[in-house]
Chain A
Amino acid sequence: MTQSTEEFMLDDIIRGCPHSRDYLISILQAVQDRYGYLSRESIYRISDYLDLPESKIYGVATFYNQFRLKPPGKFQIHVCRGTACHVKGSAGILDTIGRELGIEVGGTSKDGLFSLDTVACLGACSIAPVITINGKFYGRLDNKKVQSLVKKLKRQGDGT
């Protein structure tokens, strides 16, 4: 069987990292950086490269909050749940986004457009409450503002 270009690239990324057990987390990060998540295939290939059982790799990948085992949405939303954002109402912001999109934390919408995650402190506490969408910051939000923001993104996603 011939390898697809995607698989070549995956191997390239993995083999570009030091061939050493203590670089497992760095390898997982490099793969997720490129693909947005860790596919079964990638775990299998990392296991092959480091000569570690797949279960061990899943063990590490599921321990850390950073890693996703499912593909993220086209719009990746991160809601800050740090203390400063919390006292400024981030719980309500998170609820509003989840309700508008019909997804829970860690989930991706059926159409693959949105994924929703939380993070602890984005370091932008002075403009709390804060969310990021594909890395771009939106601060000083309230329930109303975030509702409009999500509605706008939904329209963008629909292409309308």
Chain B
Amino acid sequence: MASFSQGGGVLKKRSKTEGTRLKVGLGACGIAAGAMNVFEEARKTVEENDLPIRVERTGCIGMCHHEPLVEIEEKDGGRILLGEMTPEKIAPIIAQYMENGHIDPDNIVAGTDYITENDPFFSKQYRIVLSNCGTINPESIDEYRETGGYEGLARAIREIDPDEIIREVLDSGLRGRGGAGFPTGLKWKFTKQAAGSPKYVVCNADEGDPGAFMDRSTLEGDPHSVIEGMTIAAYAIGASDGYIYVRAEYPLAVSRLKTAIRQANEAGLLGEHILESDFSFDIRIKEGAGAFVCGEETALLASIEGERGLPRLRPPFPATKGLWGKPTNINNVETYASVSRIIQNGASWYSGFGTEKSKGTKVFALAGKIRKGGLIEVPMGITLKEIIYDIGGGIKEGKRFKAVQMGGPSGGCIPESLLDTTIDYDSVTKTGAIMGSGGMVVMDEETCMVEVARFFLEFTQNESCGKCTFCRIGTKRMLEILERITNGLGREDDIERLETLAQSVKSGSLCGLGQTAPNPVLTTLRYFRDEYEAHIKEKRCPAKQCRGLISYRILPEECVGCGVCLKNCPVDAIRGEKKQVHEIDPKKCIKCGICLDSCRFGAVEVR
């Protein structure tokens, strides 16, 4: 069996190298932080000086808090990661490195010979799905194959029969990574057994959770792993056509997928007679058009058919009646990427990670008020505390942790008292949140939990497709109550009313969108009821966020009378002579916060 060359520790020495390479992280996060300019400057420097170093692109290595990231792969396979790169910094760094191999340690964030071993950001992670992300060039099929890519597919087609593949996926314990955690092997079995042809294999790359980017990073950083997983699935269940449904907001992922599909076709790994066998399989890309409900599998299928993305009642499940009424297997991006590794390395290898009922690893997008946000992959069974404090480095600016949101609009907020919860499907569900697809947004003392509940409800309300009444009207009524509370107009019985409505929406909705929409409200009511009560009874927002309940004031003892706030105030609510203490007129103030952001003396107070 193939050796698993890239798994495990995040920054491993490469065994095979071709001279010095400089790799710029060009995932969407890197590009957003300005990595493209760094890439171009590095290219220019190398070309102009004719240096023996190759400048290449790679995906996201996960340390988004240090973007733009540049990796130097040394001649001996050693790897050095440079953070916060700029076009100005990169040229002298290259020049000095090529001259004497030295790099100023201030620029280094990690490396095989540096702090990696003891840095919990790396040591607590284990990379299976992300093993190639930020390591290989995602636009090179050769680099993917060097890491053992497509060996699983070859093994599947040449050595094992389809039923055995399904058994292997079952034995691996892999559960769907799109949120609900249904056993993947079982789903494949149902689709295989279902009558009807042709059969379809669909990849859900809609990534609807607004605050999550795991699937995007996988598609951008290692597109072949998803294509390989889909092809293995198609072979196992007897499908001839596949679709990848990608969010339209991910243009880079779409273009990398297109390249990868073309390369796989050319290499005989996709298309007619794959690896000279009788098996043929095609993959097409369909771009979503920005509708959260289209992440729900039946709505997604409707959208592929070119319709409005309205969900259908299940059963029948897509496994029996899916795309154009035919048996369809639908899995998430991370699920397919895991399959490639499982078939390559065997079920028992995979099930060696994780807990009794949740096997393997899970990718999370760690964001919000956390010091080291980014893309991480951890073995199931790790605790939330380890993720937030060891990997994430704790809360920004020394503030106090309040909650972590998991599962997006379908999930919930987990409080500090439950930070010992382990990451597995059942333990997370017990908290009232859900594992979800991997969004993890950290909140601190300055986040108002009632406002967070309102935010999610506003989202689901907007995205409700309107087909069923409970979801359409129920979420609207709940949103109105939450708006009232955050505006300081909450009524005594509002909490009770919210709870009743939440239960009705949960039980009366047609699809998962409505059934889970109340979760953010229910979990915040469960763990942060005091905040709701403060808003309603004391007309006070403890986090000082809700505009209806706060006021701005200039502290006379801090104000130096510089006049910056006065100049910037959009409604002329600030008065004061130069060098004299300024004052805010509460009647005019719209609480936009611009004075607070522009004062350099900390003289603006929110109460």
A residues with a Cβ closer than 8 A to B are 20-26, 28-29, 59-60, 63-67, 81-89, 92, 95-96, 99-100, 119-128, 130, 137, 139, 142-145, 147
Contacts and interface: CB of A to CB of B under 8 A. Distances in A.
A95 B213 CA distance: 25
Contact of B593 (A28, A92, A122): A92
Nearest to B28: A123
Nearest to B310: A63
Contact of B212 (A21, A28, A85, A121): A121
B429 to A, nearest CB: 20
Contacts of B598: 144
Contacts of B290: 64-66, 119
Contacts of A100: 570
Given A82-B210, A83-B455, A126-B373, A139 B597 contact: no
A25 B32 contact: no
B581 interface: no
B303 interface: yes
Interface string B399-425: 000000100100000000000000000
Nearest to B293: A63
Interface in B51-72: 64-65, 67
A125 B211 contact: yes
A137 B32 contact: yes
A126 B303 contact: no
Given A22-B304, A143-B593, A66 B248 contact: yes
A88 B368 contact: yes
A24 to B, nearest CB: 4
B396 to A, nearest CB: 10
B216 interface: yes
Contacts of B29: 123-127
A143 B66 CA distance: 24
Interface in B283-317: 286-292, 303-309
Contact of A144 (B212, B249, B286, B597): B597
B447 interface: yes
A15 B101 CA distance: 57
Contacts of A25: 286-287, 289, 303, 306
B597 A145 contact: yes
Contact of B287 (A26, A67, A127): A26
A127 B305 contact: no
B249 A84 contact: no
A126 B374 CA distance: 7
A89 B455 CA distance: 12
B360 interface: no
B405 A96 contact: no
B482 interface: no
B367 interface: yes
Given A121-B211, A127-B67, A99 B286 contact: no
Contacts of A96: 570, 592, 594
Given A25-B289, A64-B291, A144-B594, 15 more contacts: A22-B305, A63-B309, A64-B290, A66-B288, A86-B455, A87-B443, A87-B452, A119-B249, A121-B209, A121-B212, A123-B250, A126-B373, A127-B32, A139-B33, A143-B593
27 contacts: A22-B306, A24-B306, A26-B287, A63-B291, A64-B309, A65-B290, A65-B291, A81-B459, A83-B210, A85-B211, A86-B211, A87-B443, A92-B592, A96-B592, A100-B570, A120-B208, A121-B211, A121-B212, A121-B249, A123-B29, A125-B29, A125-B64, A125-B365, A126-B65, A139-B33, A143-B596, A144-B568
Given A65-B290, A83-B405, A128 B367 contact: yes
B171 to A, nearest CB: 34
Interface residues of B, number: 58
A21 B212 CA distance: 32
Contacts of B248: 29, 66
A142 B596 CA distance: 10
A137 B208 CA distance: 20
Nearest to B30: A124
B441 A87 contact: yes
B369 interface: yes
Contacts of A142: 593, 597
Contacts of B286: 25-26
Contact of B213 (A21, A60, A123): A123
For A86, A95, A122, A145, which residue has the most chain B Cβ atoms within 10 angstroms? A86
Given A25-B287, A126-B65, A126-B67, A83 B213 contact: no
Contacts of B456: 83
Contacts of A139: 32-33
A83 B441 contact: yes
Contacts of B594: 96, 143-144, 147
Given A137-B31, A143-B592, A147-B570, A63 B308 contact: yes
B31 A60 contact: no
B514 interface: no
A127 B33 CA distance: 7
Nearest to B455: A86
B28 A122 contact: yes
B249 to A, nearest CB: 6
Contacts of A20: 306
A126 B368 CA distance: 8
Contacts of A99: 570, 592
A30 to B, nearest CB: 10
B185 interface: no
Contacts of A120: 208, 210, 292, 459
Contacts of B373: 84, 125-126
Contacts of A126: 29, 33, 64-65, 67, 367, 373-374
B138 interface: no
B322 interface: no
A83 B368 contact: yes
Nearest to A22: B306
Contacts of A64: 288-291, 309
A122 B368 contact: no
B289 A125 contact: no
B447 A87 contact: yes
Given A87-B369, A121-B213, A139-B32, A67 B308 contact: no
Contacts of A28: 289
A40 B238 CA distance: 44
A154 B213 CA distance: 33
B402 to A, nearest CB: 10
B439 interface: yes
A83 B439 contact: yes
Nearest to A141: B597
A26 B288 CA distance: 9
